[in-house]
Amino acid sequence: MSYIHIKVEPNVSGFGAIVTGVDLSPPVSANVIHEIMRALTKHSVLSFPEQALDADKLQKFSAQLGPFGEDPYIRSMERFNHVIEVKRGAGETAPIFGSLWHSDWSFQEEPPSITCLYGVNVPPHGGDTLFADNYRAYESLANEVKSRIATLNGVHSATRAYSPKGLFSNDDKTRSMKILVSSSAEETVTHPLVRRHPSSAKKSLYVNHVYTIGIEGLNSGESDALLNELLSVSVQTEFIYRHRWASGTLVLWDNRCVAHLAEGGYEGYDRLMYRTTIAGESPVSGIY
């Protein structure tokens, strides 16, 4: 792929790329946005180092990617209602936000297409984000497994994280993020286990450890066994890209074909990131 307005340096696997030669401070031209979206479709995760963004600039840039998604269980910033502060204090002991494999808000009828995360205050070590390539995970499946899951749907819910009995209901007072626990998190939706991307037309495995709680139409034993098999495949080492953060870096990833998790390892340091999400669409089955 050739680019005129940006420089794209892919990882060896092609999953993930570094983008340079562009200033993302608004306004960004339509031509630049077009090339960024082409690169994201190709590489699924994009890293933009050495950007000078604040909450206002990030929100304005994000708006050029598409309509904003809905973030139901985290309170946004007061002045910038589409920006979330993903932060952790130096002495915080509550569980690390996002520390299990997930695809952002897959429990929604129309999960977000893209997540944007910007490093504001990044500690000198730790805090890596791991990304898993769900395209290659699907491609690695045996043909008989592909046939079995072709018409099956996963059951997604936020109950494990945000319900009154979920992980964040047990937070201690050190939690610095504004997380909202609600009984609405117990609701469920179904999405295809095999999802076709609207831009690339490629099939990906659409399951994750936090929000996929079962498989529709199977008894609990069958559901657990198949789901555990798929989850194990989805995060194999060869499918993972590890991103090491630096202040001033913006990362975009495509939730329709990527799962991710946040690591710790920066105890004793404050950490602050700004996050936005871009609205998506109802997942379409890979059989169509």
Q: Would residue 2 count as lying in a domain?
A: no
Q: Token pair of 60, please?
A: 């304005």
How many domains are contained in the chain?
1
Q: Would residue 130 count as lying in a domain?
A: yes
Share of the chain above pLDDT 70, in %: 100
pLDDT for 19 equals: 98
| Chain-centre distance for alpha carbon 97 | 13
Q: Would residue 39 count as lying in a domain?
A: yes
Helical ranges in 44-189 per DSSP H:
55-63, 134-139, 143-149, 159-162
Q: Token pair of 54, please?
A: 């604040």
Which residues neighbour 224 within 8 Å (Cβ) at sequence distance 6 or greater? 214
Instruction: Average the pLDDT over each of 23-32, 209-218, 237-246, 249-258 and give the range with the smallest value.
Output: 23-32
Q: Would residue 287 count as lying in a domain?
A: no
Instruction: Average the pLDDT over each of 91-95, 157-161, 182-186 and give the range with the smallest value.
Output: 91-95
Looking only at the bridges linking them, the beta strands covering 194-196 and 271-278 are unpaired
Q: Token pair of 43, please?
A: 């590489």
Look up the CATH number of the domain holding residue 25.
Answer: 3.60.130.10
Q: Is-contact 159 186, C-beta < 8 A? A: yes
Whole-number average pLDDT of the chain: 97
Beta-bridge partner residues of 273: 86, 119
For residue 32, which of 67, 4, 60 has the smallest C-alpha distance?
4
Confidence of residue 286 (pLDDT cuts 50, 70, 90): confident
288, pLDDT greater than 80: no
Which residues neighbour 107 within 8 Å (Cβ) at sequence distance 6 or greater? 156, 157, 158, 185, 187, 188, 189, 211
Q: Would residue 1 count as lying in a domain?
A: no
Q: Please state the φ and ψ torsions of residue 66, each to the nearest 5 degrees.
A: 150, 180
Confidence of residue 129 (pLDDT cuts 50, 70, 90): very high
Q: What is the DSSP string of 189-212?
A: EEEESEEE-TTT--EEE---TTTE
**Mean pLDDT in residue range 110-115:** 98
287, pLDDT greater than 90: no
53, pLDDT greater than 90: yes
**Is pTM beyond 0.95 here?**
yes
The sheet carrying 188-192 orders its strands as 188-192, 153-157, 212-215
Burial 211-249 (b: 16+ CB within 10 A, else e): bbbbbeeeeeeebeebbeebbebbbeeebbbebebeeeb
Q: Token pair of 233, please?
A: 């495949």
Residue-range definition of the domain harbouring residue 151: 7-282
Listed ranges 174-178, 194-198, 283-287; the one with the highest mean pLDDT:
194-198
99, pLDDT greater than 70: yes
Q: Would residue 202 count as lying in a domain?
A: yes
Q: Would residue 56 count as lying in a domain?
A: yes
pLDDT for 1 equals: 66
Confidence of residue 259 (pLDDT cuts 50, 70, 90): very high
159, pLDDT greater than 70: yes
DSSP symbol at 11: -
CA angle 48, 198, 12 (to 5 degrees): 40
pLDDT for 49 equals: 98
